[in-house]
Chains A and B, each alone.
Chain A
Amino acid sequence: MEKNKMRLVQGNEACVMGALYAGMRFYAGYPITPSSEIAEESSIQLPKVGGKFIQMEDEIASMAAAIGASLAGKKAMTATSGPGFSLKQENIGFACMAEVPVVIVNVMRMGPSTGLPTSPAQGDIMQARWGTHGDHPIIVITPTSVKEMYEFTIRAFNLAEKYRTPVILLADEVIAHMREGVEIRTDIEVIDRAKPTPGEPYLPYQLKEGDIVPPLASFGDGYRFHVTGLSHGENGFPTNSVEINNALIRRLNSKITDHLDDIVEVEEGYTSDAEFLILSIGSTARAAKSVVNTLREQGIKIGYFIPKTVWPFPEKELKECFKTVKKVIVPEMNMGQIALEVERVAAGQAEVHRLNKVTGELFTVAEINDGVMAVINK
């Protein structure tokens, strides 16, 4: 790849470029709008680099195949949208429990159910966090541009490998289908999973002092290890021990919550003295930024807060804002999902105002501006 070349690319295409840069060598998917271009582009590009693409019989199988390929040592990805994301949930939980690195792209479209397949929405925020059953850790990152589709896909693979966990790249339809000029960076670090030290005894779930997660061998490496979705001990075998189960569930969660500074990423603007704050993600954040820039020119003390990691939610960073912020406006293309987190973090320190749009259309700058002004003038 040439050095930092400028290219006009579509969001979904940028996602595949990022995935290949990060080392993706396996993709399993099922056709669904508005993410199908990710499958199509993967089917073109993967065999060129010796990787494999497979279109499975359904979304469930795609998730399963991606996990299987990862356990055999290949960096794997699958992409989908709303209905398919629902179907993938059980096996996402398996990857959480068995600690298998894998990247899931969910291009959000209008739901519930079949909804409006080609229309943008942001209704899967909570599903991305809690879609699969049980107390599980998850990392969810949200791009706001085609450039970020490229860079965040690389980040998704890096986080998945580093923390032995599924990572969800949660884009909305606009970001996925938009075309923008992108500087294709080739200087981003690529992280590979830690492998066991040859010659040493290997317990696939034993955390060694100083490590973030236990190393992960590949099937075929000669360790003859066991992987299960059942609660398991350090050796990977099922157990009914209450102590072992307790330790496992706590470790699965703390491997994420102990590294928030590495995982959580936020873009903030004008927050140091802001009295008002717009908090939003994805395509909505673009309009929000524009509103903030305009209102700042008019002397209004307003800032923006864009979680680029939506889960774990940037609690510490947002709390910091409440030293000055008295009112937060949360525009979302849903009935109010991120607002719930904002309310939780604000805990009465600031007013939280919802601005919801569920028409299957983008927020316009004017709509956000009107919503914000209504709050400011109240």
Chain B
Amino acid sequence: MKTTEYLREDKLPHIWCPGCGNGIVISNIIRAVDALNLKRENTVIVSGIGCSSRAAGYMNFDTLHTTHGRAIPFATGIKMANPDLNVIVISGDGDATAIGGNHFIHASRRNLDLTLIVVNNNIYGMTSGQYSPLTPTGKIATTAPYGNIDRPFDLCELAEAAGATYVARGSVYHVQQLKRYVERGIQNKGFSVIEALSICPTYFGRKNKMGSPVKMLEGIRDNAVIYNGKNKEEGKDKFLIGEFKNEPDREYTESYQKIIDSLKEGK
């Protein structure tokens, strides 16, 4: 199918700023969905609040734009109610790890079959550049005018530790790889987390004097260390991209179905 058929073209132009990474992430989600031949009618996109969460409105599926931080629990209800649906959650770094942090770890623990894509632009873009739990220490934000003293999460380590069964980090520079990770995340029957390192030239870039969107993309290229299974240390001052975990485990709706079946059989 033409990739544009996965978009609601009549809803364009989108609200994002020039140079924003969101479009690259969305296009790779669409390419992954297309590569896997997922039916549009059988796929639901759920998002929270923030710039990247506006993606749901532009995507030609059943789409649910929820409240701030709550995309995962809304998606949990959908998946539980109808496990035949493919449920993809799009969230930002603030949405998924600050206000939605509790849902993030518990969805990881539960291993319900959702695919979460966290678009990490290191900042709250929609509210104009406040620091998020993924803003690196020392960086400038509109609420960290003297430099951010918070320590950021490593989102992928958090997901791994909490029990997500597929965990990967890609970037808006490494697009083929990002598409592959989304594909594998969808294929994993369980809770999958794909962190997509992105850029926000308008706020994060401007506040931190990082130059043009192209310069910011080059920055991702230059600072990315490809994870090879044993070089976690190398990523310390840069960042690791790669697949950190792909260990399928018992999926939640399947476990629940077993209970239903056992009661039916009168066991």
Contact check, A237 vs B57: say whether CB atoms are below 8 A apart. yes
Asked if B67 is at the interface of the complex by the 8 Å CB criterion, the answer is yes
What CA separation (Å) do A220 and B102 show in the bound complex? Answer: 28
A73 touching B82, Cβ below 8 Å = yes
Interface residues of B in 77-106 (CB under 8 A from A): 77-78, 80-82, 84-85, 102-103, 106
> Of residues 54 to 76 in B, which have CB atoms within 8 Å of A's CB atoms?
56-57, 60-67, 70, 72-76
Closest Cβ–Cβ distance, residue A87 to chain B (whole Å): 11
Q: Does A76 contact B (CB under 8 A)?
A: yes
Stretch from A53-61, A188-196, A280-288, A368-376 contacting the other chain: A53-61
B126 beta carbon closer than 8 Å to chain A = no
Residues 72-121 of A at the B interface (beta carbon under 8 Å): 72-74, 76, 90-91, 94
Interface flag for A378 (CB, 8 Å): no
Contacts of A69 in B (CB 8 A): 77-78, 80-81
**How far apart are the CA atoms of A58 and B107 in the complex, in Å?**
12
B104 (CB) vs chain A CBs: closest residue: A57
A219-242 CB contact bits vs B (8 Å, 1 = yes)?
A: 111111111111000000110000
Contact yes or no, A61 B76, CB < 8 A = yes
Contacting pair B81 A47 (CB below 8 A): no
Q: Is the CB of A220 within 8 A of B77?
A: no
A47 touches B85 (CB 8 A): no
The reply to whether the CB of B210 lies closer than 8 angstroms to some CB of chain A is no
On whether the beta carbons of B70 and A60 are closer than 8 Å, the reply is yes
B56 touches A47 (CB 8 A): no
Are the C-beta atoms of B78 and A219 separated by less than 8 Å? yes
A93's nearest neighbour on chain B, judged by CB, is B67
Residues of A close to B267: CB separation below 8 A = none
In the complex, whether B17 has a CB less than 8 A from a CB of chain A is no
> Are A90 and B67 CB-contacts (below 8 A) given A60-B73, A65-B73, A72-B77?
yes
The distance from the CB of B244 to the nearest CB of chain A, in whole angstroms, is 23
One of B30-38, B152-160, B197-205, B255-263 at the interface: B255-263
CB neighbours of A237 from chain B (8 A):
11, 57
Interface footprint category on B: 35 or more
- Complex Cα distance, B81 from A220, in Å, reads 11
Size of A's binding interface in residues, CB under 8 A: 44
Docked-complex contact B78 and A72, CB < 8 angstroms: yes
Q: Is the CB of B65 within 8 A of A230?
A: yes
B187 within 8 A of A: no
Q: Are A56 and B63 in contact (CB under 8 A)?
A: no
B82 touching A64 by the CB < 8 A rule?
no
Given contacts A47-B259, A68-B64, A220-B42, contact A61 B81 (CB under 8 A): no
Report yes or no: A58 in contact with B61, Cβ–Cβ below 8 A. Answer: no
- Does A26 interact with chain B (Cβ within 8 Å)? yes
Known contacts A61-B76, A226-B56, A237-B57, A74 near B81 by CB under 8 Å = yes
- CB-based contact A94/B67 at 8 Å: yes
Closest to A90 in B: B67
A61: chain B residues at CB < 8 Å are: 70, 72-73, 76, 102-103, 106
- B39 CB to closest chain A CB (Å) equals 9
Say which residue of B60, B82, B263 sits within 8 Å of A219 (CB atoms). B82
Residues of A within 8 A of B256 (CB): 47, 52
Q: Are B62 and A68 in contact (CB under 8 A)?
A: no
Chain A residue numbers with a CB within 8 Å of B72 are 61
Complex-state Cα separation, A90 to B63, whole angstroms: 20
In Å, the complex CA distance between A57 and B163 comes to: 15
Q: Given A61-B76, A224-B41, is A72 in contact with B103 using a C-beta cutoff of 8 Å?
A: no
Query: Whole-angstrom distance between the alpha carbons of A28 and B72 in the complex?
Result: 14
Q: Which residues does chain B contribute within 8 Å of A67, judged by CB atoms?
A: 74, 77
B residues less than 8 Å from A90 (CB atoms): 67
Flag if B60 contacts A224 (CB, 8 Å).
Answer: yes
What is the chain B residue whose CB lies nearest that of A64? B73
Decide if A222 touches B41 in the complex (CB within 8 Å).
yes
Once A71-B64, A72-B85, A220-B44 are accepted as A-B contacts, the answer to whether A56 and B73 lie under 8 Å apart by CB is: yes
Quick check: is A48 within 8 A (CB to CB) of the other chain?
yes
Expressed in whole angstroms, the Cα–Cα distance for A66 and B106 within the complex equals 17
A219–B64 touching, CB < 8 Å? yes
Complex CA gap A74/B81 in Å reads 6
Q: What's the nearest-Cβ distance from chain A to residue B249, in Å?
A: 18
Q: Which of A47, A65, A223 contacts B263 (CB 8 A)?
A: A47
Q: Which residue of B lies closest to A219 (CB)?
A: B62
A348 close to chain B: CB less than 8 A: no
What residues of B have a CB within 8 angstroms of the CB of A56 in the complex? Answer: 73, 76, 106
Task: Let me know if B259 and A228 touch, CB within 8 A.
Answer: no
B56 and A57 form a contact (CB under 8 A): no
Complex formed: what's the CA distance from A225 to B57 in Å?
9
B67 near A64 with CB under 8 A, answer yes
Say whether A201 faces chain B, with CB atoms less than 8 Å apart: no
Task: Report yes or no: A220 in contact with B41, Cβ–Cβ below 8 A.
Answer: yes
A50 within 8 A of B: yes
Bound: A106/B73 CA distance, A: 20
CB distance from A226 to the nearest CB of B (A): 5
B63: contacting residue among A72, A74, A227, CB under 8 A: A227
Interface CB pairs A-B, < 8 A, 20:
A50-B264, A52-B81, A54-B80, A61-B72, A67-B74, A68-B64, A68-B74, A68-B77, A69-B80, A72-B81, A72-B85, A73-B82, A76-B81, A91-B67, A220-B85, A224-B61, A228-B57, A228-B64, A229-B66, A238-B57
| Extra inter-chain contacts (16) besides given A26-B77, A47-B263, A70-B77, CB under 8 Å | A56-B106, A57-B102, A62-B73, A65-B73, A65-B74, A66-B77, A68-B76, A69-B77, A71-B78, A72-B77, A218-B82, A219-B62, A221-B41, A223-B62, A228-B56, A230-B65
- Top 9 nearest A-B pairs (CB, nearest first) are A68-B77, A65-B77, A61-B73, A72-B81, A64-B73, A69-B77, A69-B81, A57-B106, A228-B65
Query: Which positions in B face A, CB cutoff 8 Å?
Result: 11, 40-42, 44, 46, 56-57, 60-67, 70, 72-78, 80-82, 84-85, 102-103, 106, 256, 259-260, 263-264
